[in-house]
Chains A and B, each alone.
Chain A
């Protein structure tokens, strides 16, 4: 009896991330408890201690260097004074969020050969109760004790030898750990999984590519659905009112030759909305039917309630890799608006249902086809941001083109299944990048902060009326959220391939981002 009472008392203590806390994350701006900071996918901090008036004085607080040669794409979490982040390939580190000094590190041993298209990377961890969860490059999901880093359970999500891997930061919904899968360049059959956070037992699986007899399977010719890709490698969002998990899906496989997979290839390159308890599909919107350019819908869905044509409406804002910005109805998935946010030369526009009206001769060809945007898209997996203060949508943009080539390839398990390789960067025509602010209700550009190079870093907006962003040049910078004017920048000396966060340590607002292979934190002296 006494023990039970003790348990009840200890449950809500520091270090316990409860589902109600996640639901009300906006009430605790000093924490950063999920990948995007809240279920809405805003990557917005309500902290305003650092603001337009004083941001010029921002200084390095601490740096944590990771002993790794892999690319660092992690977004840290901060819970009750402890920062948790992944270190590639699939390690997890817990440090004091005020000092950067390490409490523990979970080191995962990797098999000698793993199958990843684009580096042995990881984008972050999830936290619930006194547990931290990480997906691994060898396609496992692991639960760790938040205080010690000890392994509590370790389950196989899929067979890494067949080209499956987990690089996405999981999302906690209720008592479940939701994880996606990567491997769209290996002819996988993509899915989204929910696991019991206590036991590691799988609750449900949503197959991105429907099986025989299921609706949507008819959009795949022959047996192509078996190897059709449709990965889920960037963390989605959650609408608790409707009990809907909204997640983006990746490219169909093989990437650059669609002849073996005739049809629309549902539900690749789509936004899918799933019942959180069953994983059943409630609605979908496919941005690029029958994609042959590798334009995954791997963006964080931004969920906003606002008026639309005079009436309150639940909306999803989505700037897609193909170069168009979309507004969808969050209840039905209905297309409401679409407009290019970057140079694109493949579509004449979108029809009333949001389906692209393709221009002629845009497909990859043996001799090569020049198309904007390039194969890495007009934006990619790095996070956009929505500020409720300015009511603007912020994102990192690439202005670039690629030469798309078409080839042939047979599927063999565990090998790349892509059917050619585009010329991604043209040495004499490298393109450029920008941070852009859009009016999310119209898709119109409000301002642009131009970059010489194309950024792999996401953006964070704050109540201090700032937008933080980073570049391939190693700079981390703060812009005026209203005008785009640069107010502060710091050279971190390494490519920034991740998303900023903000939290409170010892009463001070801290802004953090990984650059090169280090975590950098900044505050006002």
Chain B
């Protein structure tokens, strides 16, 4: 009984995330845009269209729904990702939140998504990339890639995979004790060891002092589709990738 009344009391308390953004004037949005362009745009694109970081102009965010959550994510960063915290007082961060809320544009893909899906299979992309549990695991899981990445970034990724390679996909190469050449994707590295996913999908710790010719290459293992597909087909593939979104979520 006592527990029940406590629960009821908790239900009546205002949720913390009802905190209102105090900086929503046009001047705030303009100031937020300035901060965004100098600090966020290198990863999230000049107008929030995304790049190495997720697109922020879709009205939907991975880590936040409310303004208060956005404030927290921008201020504190996201642990385990490349997203750093923004070293500013809340008044400046609220302006960035307002700017993000003002963005809501997402151009439609030009290509044909169904044709792109067929091409994805024909080119064997599924050997390394997984979509909803189907496919390989050496490359990034693409199940929701259309939500996270802009069309421009998707296009760049398939045409010029080396343009922007996340650390997690840097390639570790070395010669093991038996003299065999080995390689895998970098999951973690310290002074003495590296943790990799090798090309046979084994989790391996490499002890640097026990191998020869250890090196980390910041290039992508993914082949470009240039020469394998026409420009129109590339657009079809972009359209297909852009259509990959959380189930039940419309564009």
Contact = CB atoms under 8 A, between A and B. Distances in A.
Contacts of B39: 405, 421, 423
Contacts of B191: 450-453, 471, 473, 475
Contacts of A425: 84
Interface stretch (A9-17, A53-61, A412-420): A412-420
Nearest to B165: A428
B217 interface: no
Given A415-B91, A416-B87, A420-B38, A427 B189 contact: no
A452 B86 contact: no
B190 A453 contact: yes
Interface string B51-93: 0100000000000000000000000000000101011110100
Interface in A371-400: none
A185 B88 CA distance: 10
Nearest to A430: B167
B223 interface: no
Nearest to A421: B87
B122 to A, nearest CB: 33
A428 B191 CA distance: 17
Interface of A is mostly: loop
Contact of B167 (A368, A415, A421, A427): A427
B84 A424 contact: yes
Nearest to B82: A427
Interface in B157-193: 166-167, 189-192
Contacts of A489: 192
B89 A416 contact: yes
Contacts of A211: none
B218 interface: yes
A425 B167 CA distance: 13
A450 B209 CA distance: 14
A214 B82 CA distance: 47
Contacts of B91: 412, 415
Interface string B211-241: 0000000100000000000000000000000
Nearest to A433: B191
Contacts of A453: 190-191
Contacts of A418: 87-88
Given A405-B38, A407-B38, A475 B190 contact: yes
Contacts of B189: 452
Contacts of A525: none
Given A428-B218, A473-B190, A423 B42 contact: yes
A366 interface: yes
B46 to A, nearest CB: 13
Interface in B32-46: 35, 38-39, 42
Contacts of B88: 416, 418, 421
Contacts of A473: 190-191
Interface string A83-107: 0000000000000000000000000
Contacts of A427: 52, 82, 166-167
Interface in A417-456: 418, 420-421, 423-425, 427-428, 450-453
Contacts of B38: 366, 368, 405, 407, 420
B67 to A, nearest CB: 18
Most buried by B among A185, A405, A421: A421
A242 B86 CA distance: 45
Nearest to A428: B218
Interface in B82-119: 82, 84, 86-89, 91
B131 to A, nearest CB: 26
Contacts of B42: 423
B86 A421 contact: yes
A489 B189 CA distance: 17
A452 B189 CA distance: 8
A405 B86 CA distance: 13
Contacts of B166: 427
A489 B167 CA distance: 27
Contacts of A366: 38
A418 B92 CA distance: 12
A412 B88 CA distance: 13
Interface in A319-377: 366, 368
A284 to B, nearest CB: 29
Given A415-B91, A421-B39, A421-B88, A452 B190 contact: yes
Nearest to A407: B38
A416 B82 CA distance: 23
B71 to A, nearest CB: 14
Contacts of A421: 39, 86-88
A256 to B, nearest CB: 10
B22 to A, nearest CB: 13
A51 B189 CA distance: 30
A258 to B, nearest CB: 18
A412 to B, nearest CB: 8
Nearest to B85: A421
A342 to B, nearest CB: 18
A405 B39 CA distance: 9
A312 B170 CA distance: 55
A113 B84 CA distance: 22
A424 B166 CA distance: 18
A106 B189 CA distance: 39
Nearest to A426: B42
B206 to A, nearest CB: 13
Most buried by A among B38, B39, B88, B167: B38
Nearest to A422: B87
Nearest to B91: A415
A368 B192 CA distance: 34
Given A366-B38, A421-B39, A452-B190, 19 more contacts: A405-B39, A407-B38, A416-B87, A416-B89, A418-B88, A421-B87, A421-B88, A424-B84, A427-B82, A427-B166, A428-B218, A450-B191, A451-B191, A452-B189, A452-B191, A473-B190, A473-B191, A475-B191, A489-B192
26 contacts: A117-B87, A185-B87, A368-B38, A405-B38, A405-B39, A407-B38, A412-B91, A415-B89, A415-B91, A416-B87, A416-B89, A421-B39, A421-B88, A423-B39, A423-B42, A424-B84, A427-B52, A427-B82, A427-B167, A428-B167, A428-B218, A452-B191, A453-B190, A471-B191, A475-B190, A475-B191
Interface of B: 35, 38-39, 42, 52, 82, 84, 86-89, 91, 166-167, 189-192, 218
